[in-house]
């Protein structure tokens, strides 16, 4: 189904599919193409309204009976790491960060396959081949970086790796108000070292150094064990009811899975604020 605003991108809705976060529910997405000279402005504007990027598409959950998926971001200036997060940062200190252009490598794909086979063997990306992986990394019409994390021999005990070992990767969009973590993956041996949390902590430092106020983490879903870790970051905001607000107590958002909380698609599209486009 297509939904159109005058002089603006066209919005579409996907068919319902099984929800990957809440058992027994169906997910549906509202999406639009990301292309042309206005791609960067559109990505910036819609990211501030809960949308995420996947290649040349911007999407936001628009389920028929649930609004539990809420975009989350960290206020960089107000973030204070917990004692556990300080330990994670120290434990991963031997890692070196290398920012590159959005270009896929065989080394990245091999790490990606090991990560999926270990953590998400039954997920929607489990069958991705190297060409689909390259498309995920390289098909971007906006400012995107690949952040690699590397270490040398025996720098991290879990790895016992050789020189210049690729330990983790994050595909990151650079927005006008922050960094958006599009997708990250890491060596499964580093799970005890909380590599996923470390990547977020490091992006907070990158954003701080660049003077960017936010780090966008994707979606947080109350009641989903897969998403619990995001609520452990201080200064976390969620996009709820059309505004960004402090998450407060995570338990306070458990009713967002109620079907009466869902607005019609037409109303959702009508409320989207778009940048000015040339007619």
**Secondary structure, 3-state, the chain:** CEEECCCCCEEEECCCEECCCCCCCEECEEEEECCCCCHHHHHHHHHCCCCEEECCEEEEECCCCCCCCEEEEEEHHHCCCCHHHHHHHHHCCCCEEEEEECCCCHHHHHHHHHHHHHHCCCCCCCCCCHHHHHHHHHCCCCCEEEEEEEECCCCCCCCCCCCCEEEEEEEEEECCCEEEEEEEEECHHHHHHCHHHHHHHHHHHHHHHHCCCEEEEEEECCCCHHHHHHHHCCCEEEEECCEEEECCCHHHHHHHHCHHHCCCHHHHHHCCCCCCCCC
Encoded tokens for 76: 């960089």
Average pLDDT rounded to a whole number, residues 234-246: 94
- Sheet arrangement for strand 10-13: 2-4, 10-13, 29-33, 57-61, 52-54
Encoded tokens for 38: 């206005």
Residue-wise pLDDT tens digits, 243-260: 999 999 888 887 665 555
Domains contained in the chain, CATH given: 76-215 (3.40.630.30)
Q: What is the pLDDT of residue 152?
A: 75
Q: Is pLDDT larger for residue 209 or for residue 152?
A: 209
pTM (two decimals): 0.90
Q: What is the pLDDT of residue 6?
A: 47
The percent of residues above 90 in pLDDT, for the chain, comes to 60
Encoded tokens for 236: 């976390």
Q: What is the pLDDT of residue 252?
A: 83
Residue-wise pLDDT tens digits, 50-92: 999 999 999 999 888 888 889 999 999 999 999 999 999 999 9
Residue-wise pLDDT tens digits, 81-132: 999 999 999 999 999 999 999 999 999 999 999 999 887 656 667 788 999 9
């Amino acid at each position: 189904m297509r939904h159109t605003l005058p002089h603006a991108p066209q919005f579409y809705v996907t068919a319902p599919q099984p929800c990957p976060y809440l058992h027994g529910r169906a997910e549906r997405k509202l999406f639009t193409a990301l292309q042309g000279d206005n791609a960067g402005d559109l990505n910036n504007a819609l990211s501030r309204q809960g949308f995420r990027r996947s290649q040349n598409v911007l999407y936001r959950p628009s389920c028929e009976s649930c609004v539990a998926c809420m975009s989350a971001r960290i206020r960089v200036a107000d973030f204070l790491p917990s004692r556990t997060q300080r330990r994670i940062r120290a434990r991963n200190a031997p890692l070196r960060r290398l920012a590159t252009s959005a270009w896929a490598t065989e080394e990245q794909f091999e790490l990606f396959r090991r990560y999926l086979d270990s953590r998400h063997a039954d997920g929607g990306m489990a069958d991705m081949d190297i060409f689909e992986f390259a498309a995920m990394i390289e098909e971007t019409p906006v400012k995107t970086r690949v952040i690699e994390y590397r270490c040398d021999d025996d720098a991290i005990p879990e790895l016992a790796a050789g020189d210049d070992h690729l330990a983790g990767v994050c595909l990151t969009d650079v927005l006008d108000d922050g960094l958006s973590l599009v997708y990250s993956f890491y060596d499964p041996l580093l799970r005890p070292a909380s590599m996923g949390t470390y990547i977020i902590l490091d992006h907070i430092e990158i954003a701080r150094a660049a003077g960017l106020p936010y780090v966008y983490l994707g979606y947080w879903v109350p009641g989903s064990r897969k998403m619990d870790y995001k609520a452990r970051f201080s200064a976390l905001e969620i996009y709820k009811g059309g505004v960004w607000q402090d998450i407060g107590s995570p338990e306070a958002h458990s009713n967002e899975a109620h079907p009466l909380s869902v607005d019609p698609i037409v109303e959702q599209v009508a409320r989207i604020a778009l940048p000015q486009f040339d007619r």
